[in-house]
Amino acid sequence: MRRLAQGEATVTELIDHVGLSQPLVSWHLGKLRLAGLVETRRIGRETISRLLPEAWDRFATYERRVLGLEGSVAAQRRGAVS
């Protein structure tokens, strides 16, 4: 996701960036596409992927929620007010 937030990329570029196998990168891209976060298009034999508009914001919000960062920030704010 972070690599795609910088701009569109081919599967080969993503493989080089994350150091995973082509099947695994393609599998993850498929899941991201099904989730409505990524769009892909083909140019010849290459598949180009890009984040859909506002997808990074949705992902970042979800990531903060899963990691518990939103709650900890809220707790810090409550502690400062008390």
The predicted pLDDT at position 14 comes to 96
- Which CATH number applies to 2-81? 1.10.10.10
Q: What three-state secondary structure class fits 43?
A: strand
Give the pLDDT confidence of 31-62 residue by residue, as tens digits: 999 988 899 999 999 999 999 978 778 777 88
Q: How confident is the model at residue 81 (pLDDT cuts 50, 70, 90)?
A: very low
| pLDDT at 23 > cutoff 70 | yes
Q: How buried is 4 (Cβ within 10 angstroms: 0-12 exposed, 13-18 middle, 19+ buried)?
A: buried
| 4-14: pLDDT as tens digits | 989 999 999 99
Task: Indicate the helix (H) or strand (E) that contains 28.
Answer: helix 22-34
pLDDT of residue 78: 46
CA dihedral over 20, 25, 31, 32, signed as positive or negative? positive
Q: Which residue has the tokens 């007010």?
A: 81
